[in-house]
Structure 1
Amino acid sequence: MQIITPGMRLVPEAVLANDAALFRKIAETPSHTDRSLHRVVIVGGGAGGLELATRLGRKFGKRQISVTLVDRNRTHVWKPLLHEVASGTLNASTEAIEYIAHASRHHYRYRIGEVVGIDRAKRQAFVAPSFDDDGRQIIPPRVLGYDTLVMAVGSVCNDFDTPGALRNAIALDTVSQAARFNRRMINACLRANAQYEQLSPGQLHCVIVGAGATGVELAAELHKSMRQIASHNLDNINFDKLIRITIIEAEPRILPALPEHMARASAHLLRDLGVQIRCGIKVTEVTADGVRLGDKIFVAAELVVWSAGIKAPDFLKNLDGLETDRINRLIVDDTLRAKGDENVFAIGDCANCVLPGQDSPLPPRAQTAHQQADHVVKVIAARIKGQPVPAFRYRDYGSLVSLADYGAFGSLIGGLKIEGLLARLMYRSLHKLHLRAVHGSLKTALDTIAAILGRRTRPRVKLH
C-alpha cells in the first residue's frame, strides 16, 4: 500500500512507520571511496545544514573527512523568505540553490531522500526511497554510515491538533506550500474579477493565524501584492474595499517573542493599512469557509494561513531513544551534542539548547542556526584530532522585522532601536550574509547586481 504525503511524495507505509527491519536488510551505501575518512552526515539542507556542509567542504575539501548532506528536496530557499514567495513578491525559482550543483562546487556530497530513523549502535542513518509525482521510484531506500551525525531538520508548523487546520489552512514550511498559497491567492483574485454575481462572505478575505514574525510580515506583503495583482487590469471590483486581511494571535500582543516597542510600531503600521488584528483569542476550528474563534465568533475567509507555533518533525520523537522535549526537539548540551550519544549533534530549530546560566532554550532564529553551524565546524575539527569538543557560545545580535515597503523595525545589541531605511537594509543584509556563507562574496555580489538589473524587466509580483 502507498499513501500520498502533503509534499506529493509517494512513500511506502512501512517506511513512514520507521520499520527498522526493512533497513537492516539493506547494505550500507559507502559515503566515499576512501573508507578511512571521518564520515559526517548532515540531515537537513536548511540554513544551518547547508552552511555547515559548505564550510566543512571548503575547510577540509576531500581530505580527512567525507561530508554528506541529506535532504528530501532538491533545492534550497532561505526559509525567512517564504512569506515573500507566498505573496508573490519573490520568485522561488530564481532564488533557489540547487543542491547537486552546489555540492559539486563546494566539495561535499548531496543525497536526495528523507531520513526516517537511525541505528545508534551501528552508527547508521536510514533514508527513505524517493518517488516522482507518478509514483515511480527514483532512489531506493538506503543506509548511510556515519562517524558524526548532525541533525539540522529545522521545524514545521504546529497546529496544536486544531480541528480542520491541517485540511483547510496552508502552512509556510516549504517552498511548495508557499507556492501553493500563491496560486490560490492569484486564483481567488481572478475568480472574483470574472464572476457576475456578488462576492460571497469571506471572498478575498485572508486570515493569518499566528502573529509571529512570519505572520506579521506576510500580512504586509499580502496587502501590497494583492493590490498589485489587481492593478493588472482586474478592474471589475474595488479591491481596496473588498480585500481584507486579519491576523489572529492567542497572546496579548503581536510579535510576542520580540521587544514590545517593535510590536507596538508594527501593530500601528498594520492598522493604518487596514489589517485587522485580534489578540488574546484562540482559533478553535478551521473550516473551508473561515475560522472559528472560541465558541461564538466566526471569521469568514477564502484564504487561511497557519503560522502559529512550531515544532520539530515528528520522527525525532522515535530517533532510537534520543531524548526530546514536548515539541520534538532533541535535547543537546552546551557543545550541541545530543543527550546520551557522543556521535550525534543537533543545530537550528530542531535542537533544544539551554546554555549555562540561561532559563530557556535558544530562540528558533536564523542567526542561531548560523552560529551553531559555525560552531559544529570547530567540533568536527576537534573530533578528528581527538581533542575535547568546545562549548558553544551564543551572541544575540538583536531582532528585525520588515513590513514590505511600508516600514521596518529593529532592536540591536544593547537595545538600540532602529527603523525605516536602515532597518530595511539590515533586514536584507541577513539574507546576503546567508548567501555569502554558502556562495562566497564574489558570487553573492554578482547575483545581487543581476537581480537589481533583472527587476526592471519583470512584473513587480509573480502572476502565475
Structure 2
Amino acid sequence: MPKASMISHTLGETGPREAVMTGPHRVLIIGGGIAGLEIASKLPKRIGSMSVAVTLVDREPAYVWKPMLHTIAAGTTDVWQQQTSYVAQARNRSFVFEPGELKAIDRQEHSVRLGALEIDGRCILPERSLSYDTLILAVGSQANDFGTPGVREHCLTIDSRSQAMNFNRQVMARMLETLAADATLRIAVVGGGATGVELAAELIQLTEVTAHYGAAGLRDQVRVTLVEGSPNLLGAFPDRVAIAARERLEKLGVTVLTGARVVAAEADCLRLADGEQIPAELKVWAAGVKGSDACAAYDGLELTRSNQIMVKPTLQTTVDPAIFAVGDCSSLAVVDGGKPLPPAAQVAHQQASHLIRHLPGWLQGRELPPFTFRDFGSIVSLGGYGAYGSLGQFGLFRGGFIRGRAAQLGHVLLYRSHQSRLHGFWRGGLIWLADMINSRVRPRLRLPD
C-alpha cells in the first residue's frame, strides 16, 4: 500500500489540517461486527468522489449478527443461511477486505500488524503490516471470566461465529451420545444477561425440535441450568422484563439460580461461593463483558478496567485523534461522571451511523459533532416461546412493556433493518424472502453432517 496519503498525519477533532494530494486517504477498520461492517459497507458511498480507500480487517471469513449467535450455537438457525461473506460484501460495497487478526498498533508509524492466517495448520498469509491515515477500532467484546479458575479450560464461549459453530458441534455430539447411552446431559449456562437467557431457551427448543427427527425422548434427558451471580436476571432490562423471562424459562424446565456466584469451573461441575456444586457435562460462560484480550496491542490507548477503549464524545480515542473506537470495544459516558453506554447492538449501530454521516466532512476539515445516544429500548427473545422488551425513552410509548407477538415482530424487524443497512433495501428484502422460503423447505435445526 502507498506510504503517502491524501491527508497528512496531523489530525485533530476539527479534521485533517494539511492536504498532500499524493494518494488516497486510507481508512482502516479493524473488526467486522455490527459497527465495523456497517461503516465499511456505507462509508464508500458517502464519500463519493473523495479520494478515500476503505479497508476492513477481520479474523473470520464471514459475519453473523451477534444477537443471533446463540441460535447458531444451539443449531436452531443454520449459520450458512445467515452469514455474510466479507469477500462478497467487499465486492458489492466497494471496500477492501483483509483477513487477519490485530496483533499490534504502531501509532507513530500509523500502521497495524496482523498475525499470520492459518487454515488447517497451513500458513495462507504471513504476518504483515497495513498503513492507515484514519483507524477505526470495532473489535467487539468477549465474555469476562473475572479470572475464575478453570473457566478457560472447561467452559465454552459464544462470542464469535467460530465459537458458536464450535459449541453447536459439541452440543450435537453430546446429545447423540446421550441418546445412544440413554443417559442424562446436564448443561450449565453461566450468565443471566440476554445471551445466557436466550441460549437457555434455544437449548430447550432444540430438544423439542429433535423430536421431529426421531429423538422424542431427548427432551426429558437434557437438563439446563442458568446461573447468575446477581439477584436478578437481565440486569440491563426493566424488572418487568426480567421477571417475565424468568417465569417463562422456569415453565420450560430451566433451573434458574440467581445470587449464585461461580468461584471455579471443573471438568464435570461448577463450584459456587456457598460450596454448592452444579453438575454439568457441558458448560457455557456467558457472564460479564470485557474488551478484547488484544488490548496489549493498543500502543498506549487509554483503557478501562475491563479493557474497553476510552473515547471522547466525538468517538475519537482520548490520546490519538486519528484513531476512533466504536461499539462494544469502546467506553463512552454520555454524561460526565455517568455510567458508560452499555455494550449493545443499538449503541454499535448508532455510533456507526454517526461516523458514516460525519466522517466525510471531518476528512474535508469540518468539525466532528459529539455523538448522541437515543435509547429505543431492548428486546429479549426466547426463541419460539415468546419475547419481552421495553420501548426505551423515546417515542409515544416511552418506557412501555411489550411481549408476545409484538415483541417477536420487533425482534425480527431489528434484524431485517440491519440487513437492509448492509445490503440495501431491495437486496435485504430478497434475503428476507429467501429466509422465509428456507424455513419452509429446510430442516428446522442444523443437523449433524
TM-score relative to the length of structure 1: 0.89
Matches of 2:45 and 2:438 in 1, distance apart? 30
Partner of 1:206: 187
Q: Give the alignment of 1:376-415 within 5 angstroms.
A: 376-413=355-392, 414-415=398-399
**1:439 pairs with 398, 415, 423, which one?**
423
**Structure 2 SS opposite 1:118:** strand
Q: Is the 8 A contact 2:179 2:218 kept in 1?
A: no
Question: Aligned partners of 2:5 and 2:156: how far apart in 1?
Answer: 37
Residue 221 of structure 1 aligns with an amino acid whose one-letter code is: E
| Aligned partner of residue 441 in structure 2, secondary structure | coil
Query: Closer, same or farther in 2 for the Cα pair 1:262/1:295, shift >3 Å?
Result: closer
Asked if structure 1 preserves the Cα contact closer than 8 Å seen for 2:192 and 2:233, the reply is: yes
2: CA distance, partners of 1:31 / 1:191: 58
The residue number in structure 2 matching 1:363 is: 342
Give the distance between the partners of 2:331 and 2:344, measured in 1 at CA: 13
Q: Could you tell me which amino acid in structure 2 is paired with residue 339 of structure 1?
A: T
Partner secondary structure for residue 213 of structure 2: coil
CA-based RMSD: 1.8
**Offset, 1:275:** 0.8
Q: Does 1:420 align with 2:408?
A: no
Deviations 1:59-85 (A, max 9, x none): 225632110101111110111100000
1:61 and 1:107 in contact (8 A); partners too: no
Residue 375 of structure 1 and its aligned partner are, at CA, apart by 0.9
- Paired with 2:84 and 2:304, the residues of 1 have a C-alpha distance of 32
The percent identity for this pair of structures is 39
CA displacement at 1:29 relative to structure 2: 7.6
The match for 1:174 among 160, 181, 198 is 160
Separation (CA, whole Å) in 2 of partners of 1:433 and 1:165 = 36
Task: Check the 8 A contact 2:116/2:127 in 1, yes or no.
Answer: yes
The structural deviation recorded for 1:230 is: 4.0
Q: Distance in 2 between matches of 1:452 and 1:295?
A: 48
Matched, 1:225 2:211: no
- Could you say if the C-alpha distance between residues 77 and 430 of structure 1 is closer, same or farther in structure 2, counting changes exceeding 3 Å? same
**In 1, distance between residues paired with 2:419 and 2:229?**
34
Distance in structure 2 (CA, Å) of the matches to 1:392 and 1:188: 46
Tell me if the contact between 1:29 and 1:143 (Cα under 8 Å) persists in the aligned partners: no
- Extract structure 1 runs of 4+ deviating beyond 6 A: 27-32
Instruction: Report the Cα offset of residue 358 of structure 1.
Output: 6.0
- Return closer, same or farther for 1:461/1:31 CA change in 2, 3 Å cut-off: farther
Alignment of 1:373 onto 2:352: yes
Q: Which runs of 5+ in 2 are unaligned?
A: 7-20, 393-397
Q: 1:28 to 1:139 in 2, by over 3 A?
A: farther
Selected match of 1:83 from 49, 70, 73: 70
- Paired with 2:91 and 2:276, the residues of 1 have a C-alpha distance of 55
Q: Deviations over 1:395-447 (max 9, x none)?
A: 01001111111111111032011111010000111111111111011011111
Helix, strand or coil: the match of 2:145?
A: coil
Give the one of 116, 123, 139 matched to 2:125.
Answer: 139
Cα 1:293–1:428, aligned 2, differ >3 Å: closer, same or farther?
Answer: same
Take 2:153 and 2:126, find their aligned partners in 1: how far apart are those partners? 30
Shift of 1:227: 2.3
Structure 1 counterpart of 2:180, one-letter code: A
1:258 paired with 2:237, answer yes
Tell me the CA shift for residue 301 of structure 1: 1.2
* SS of 1:170 mapped into structure 2: coil
Distance 1:188 1:62 in 2: 55
Matched, 1:304 2:300: no
Please, which of 156, 162, 175 is the counterpart of residue 142 of structure 2?
156
Secondary structure of the 2:440 match is coil
Q: What amino acid is aligned across from residue 85 of structure 2 in structure 1?
A: E
**Cα separation, 1, equivalents of 2:303 and 2:2:** 27
Aligned equivalent of 1:329: 308
TM-score using structure 2 length: 0.92
